[in-house]
């Protein structure tokens, strides 16, 4: 197990190196010069030259890349082209918001998804099943920004139960929790729907397997069969979906952060791309990629815990 983790971490480093190279080069190849954006439409060629000189954009791209890597090794991710804030500091202030949002959305998704999926599997073809599969279909199809805007209109503007925007309060306070409700539902709905579908089909499959029939034949109580014998085996594919979705959630935060005015990594990244803020784009992409890889690693480890038949030795 330990050697497996070490091996995977080694792969992570190589992967990040590859990602950093691709992102660095694609940002430089893509049209749009940071100097023109900083200078604005009024800038003269001489002004732009001065800005390029200032940012080191005049050097050959490979030299810039090597300089960048050297910086990273010393823990220096550079400065934002937009407001000269250190990149590390910008990320540090925003990452907690994104993590708060992603984790709470995942919790919403798992609770709703698992409950809905289990119920539909237990009561296959009943009205509960129909309701829950319809919810799953609608949940996957609804665009994030629309759902967010509607939730704001209903719960924040008309009913005034919850705040319109922000995520500034600590999550363990009442205000903090209230701030989390709408964004988490907005971001978590699609994942909840996917988890519901996955757990339903996985559960249906397991329920039909031999050992469940044996358990039932032995006279084990229905509840025990479901919650002890079936659920654990049905969970494996669900965990995969949760893992992949958690990574996707981190990317999906962009729109939710936009709608709810949350100061997070997604917005930081999108603003940086629009402004060709190279150091900021690099760092945020690397961060999201690392989180994605680490989550996958954690999922692999959980497999072993849930299903003892799986081993990486």
Partner 1 sequence: MKKLWMTTAVLLLISLLVACGDSESSSGTEGEDVPKELTYASTSDAKGLSPIDTNDSVSSNVIVQVYETLFSLNPETMEPEPLLAESYETPDENTWVITLKEGISFHDGTPFNAEAVKYTFEQMKDPDRAAPRASLLEPIDTIEVEDEYTVVLTTKEPYGPMLAALSHSNASIVSPTADQEGDINREPVGTGPFVFENWEEGDQVVLTKNEDYWRDPAQLDKVTFKVVPEYSTAISMLETGDVQFLDAIPSDHISRVESLSNVEVDKQEGTRVSYLTFNVEKEPFNELEFRQAVAYAVDQESYVNQLNGLGSYNESIIGPKVFGYEEEATEYGYDYDPDKATEIIEANGYSDESITMLVANRDNYMKMAEIVQSQLSNVGLDVEIETMEWGAFLDTARAGDYEMTFLGWANSTADGSELLYPNLHSDNIGGSNYTRYNNDEFNQLVEESRITVDQNVRKEKLQEANILAIQDVPWVVMEHGVVTAAYDESVSGLSVDPTGQWSLYPVTRE
For residue 3, the cross-strand partners are none
The reply on whether position 197 binds partner 1 by CB under 8 A is no
The distance of closest approach from Cβ of residue 188 to partner 1 in the complex, given in angstroms and rounded to an integer, is 15
Nearer to partner 1, 31 or 219 (CB): 31
The reply on whether position 29 binds partner 1 by CB under 8 A is no
Segment contacting partner 1 by CB under 8 A, of 40-48, 189-197, 199-207, 288-296: 40-48
The distance of closest approach from Cβ of residue 296 to partner 1 in the complex, given in angstroms and rounded to an integer, is 29
The distance of closest approach from Cβ of residue 2 to partner 1 in the complex, given in angstroms and rounded to an integer, is 39
Nearer to partner 1, 76 or 271 (CB): 271
Nearer to partner 1, 212 or 301 (CB): 212
The reply on whether position 146 binds partner 1 by CB under 8 A is no
Please give the residues from 232 up to 291 whose contact with partner 1 meets the rule CB under 8 A.
Answer: 257-261, 263, 267-268, 271, 274-276
Q: Footprint of partner 1 on this chain (CB under 8 A)?
A: 30-33, 36-47, 50-51, 53-54, 82-85, 90, 93-94, 115, 119, 122, 145, 149, 152-153, 156-157, 159-165, 168, 174, 178, 181, 257-261, 263, 267-268, 271, 274-276
């Amino acid at each position: 197990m330990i050697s497996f983790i070490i091996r995977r971490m080694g792969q992570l480093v190589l992967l990040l190196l590859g990602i950093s190279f691709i992102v660095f080069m694609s940002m430089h190849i893509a049209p749009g010069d940071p100097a023109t954006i900083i200078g604005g439409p009024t800038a003269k060629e001489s002004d732009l030259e001065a800005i390029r000189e200032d940012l080191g954009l005049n050097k050959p791209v490979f030299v810039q890349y090597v300089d960048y890597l050297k910086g990273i090794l010393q823990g220096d991710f550079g400065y934002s082209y937009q407001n000269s804030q250190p990149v590390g500091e910008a990320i540090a202030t925003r990452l907690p918001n994104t993590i708060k949002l992603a984790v709470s959305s995942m919790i919403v998704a798992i609770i709703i998804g698992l409950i809905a999926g289990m119920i539909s599997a237990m009561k296959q073809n009943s009205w509960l099943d129909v309701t829950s599969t319809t919810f799953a279909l609608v949940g996957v199809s609804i665009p994030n920004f629309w759902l967010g805007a509607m939730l704001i209109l209903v719960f924040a503007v008309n009913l005034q139960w919850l705040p319109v925007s922000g995520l500034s309060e600590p999550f363990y306070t009442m205000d903090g929790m209230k701030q989390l409700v709408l964004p988490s539902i907005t971001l978590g709905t699609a994942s909840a729907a996917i988890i519901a579908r996955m757990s339903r089909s996985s559960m249906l499959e397991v329920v039909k397997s031999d050992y469940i029939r044996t358990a039932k034949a032995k006279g084990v109580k229905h509840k025990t069969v479901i919650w002890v014998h079936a659920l654990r085996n049905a969970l494996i594919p669900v965990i995969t979906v949760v893992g992949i979705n958690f990574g996707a959630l981190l990317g999906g935060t962009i729109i939710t952060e936009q709608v709810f005015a949350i100061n997070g990594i997604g917005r930081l990244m999108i603003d940086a791309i629009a402004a060709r803020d190279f150091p900021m784009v690099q760092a945020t992409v690397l961060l999201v990629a690392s989180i994605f890889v680490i989550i996958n690693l954690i999922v692999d480890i959980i497999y072993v815990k849930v299903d003892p038949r799986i081993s990486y030795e």
